[in-house]
Amino acid sequence: MTTQSVTIPALLGGSFSAYLAAPSSQPRAGIVLIQEVLGVNKNMRQIADNFAKAGYLVIVPDLYWRLEPGVQLDPDDEKHWTKAFELLGAFDLDGGVEDLKATLSFLRQYPSSTGKVGSVGFCLGGKLAYFMATRTDADANVSYYGIDIDKNLAEATKIQKPLILHMSENDEYVSPSAQATIQQGLKDNPLVTIYRYEGVNHGFSRVGSSAYRKEAAELAGDRTLAFLKQHLGC
């Protein structure tokens, strides 16, 4: 496996950096890995490396680049969370989706890519993975504890490719009523699979953080890998 920083031309002008992790095998299917509110931090790079070890070409774009390039925040530092929510409040969601479209195109055209590319996102990235399903032609999408999906269900009619939603029963940022709204709104869509994990909080897959819950994280991880293998190959 190799890692490097690459530069992606933005569709709206300018360019942004991304972390790229490539397996030794080829050709490779691709994953656009979408950051949490904490930026492209150590945790996101480790997730990218793990997917690369599983045989995927993985890219993590810096979606905060218009606000502050290179953000890397610590999930167990309270001041860093304050900063994260400030960035989230200023984040241009539609611009972020355009950057993800540019990243998707970049990865599809990358040497040794099979052209099959999906997305996996966490938290803010989980919301954006849902938008990858509704606004792009990504081949498969996985959302971990995505925020505000309940407020954007009108877009669900645009879903053309398979989507998984991993939801935390005790998510502090997605209320029980919001979760019920999501489940009700998507239950008849054959392309959407929802998994709900009992007794865990937002961030249950964030290794090394206080929110991490090993059993749920490993189950979600196994389901994600099986789903990606089915729809992207490897």
The catalytic site residues sit at 171, 202
The alpha carbon of residue 231 and the mean position of all alpha carbons in its chain are separated, in whole angstroms, by 16
Report yes or no: 31 and 58 within 8 Å, Cβ to Cβ.
Answer: yes
- Radius of gyration, CA atoms only, the chain: 16
What is the C-alpha to C-alpha distance for residues 232 and 134, in angstroms, rounded to an integer?
18
Half-sphere exposure of 102 (CA within 13 A, CB side): 22
What is the C-alpha to C-alpha distance for residues 65 and 91, in angstroms, rounded to an integer?
10
Residue with tokens 């989980």: 126
Helix (H) or strand (E) holding 143: strand 141-144
Report yes or no: 204 and 212 within 8 Å, Cβ to Cβ.
Answer: yes
